[in-house]
Amino acid sequence: MLVTLREVKDYLRIDTNDEDDVVASLMQNAETLCKDVARVEKVEDFEALGEVAKQAVLYSTAYLYEHRENADYHQMTLMLRALLFGVRREGF
């Protein structure tokens, strides 16, 4: 994983361990989504994108966490495209 559970919980300002499983699941989904938007298949290649990739994963995890019941995936994907525009590959 590009970010740790502790980093995400700090970013979300979560102090308890009650939702660790939910947050971990959202982190995995967020990283997969970010890899897809960046058009990167390998985890190592995505991690090589550095801070941009990390911020995209943090953003998407936070978005999924905050909007668990009413997420606008189209809007989130557009934001991720903007965040990852500079590192996004032409194709898979």
Total of domains in the chain: 1
Rg (CA), the chain: 13
Contact 82, 88 (CB under 8 A): no
CA distances from 7 to 1, 12, 69, 79 (A): 11, 9, 23, 21
d(CA 83, CA 78): 9
Is residue 89 in a domain? no
What is the domain range of residue 40? 5-84
Say which residue the tokens 């995400």 belong to.
8
Judge whether residue 91 has pLDDT over 70.
no
What pLDDT, in 10s, does the model give residues 17-29?
A: 999 999 999 999 9
What pLDDT, in 10s, does the model give residues 28-40?
A: 999 999 999 999 9
Residue at 72: amino acid letter? D
Percentage of the chain beyond pLDDT 70 is 98
Is residue 53 in a domain? yes
Is residue 91 in a domain? no
Instruction: Provide the whole-model pTM.
Output: 0.90
Is residue 92 in a domain? no
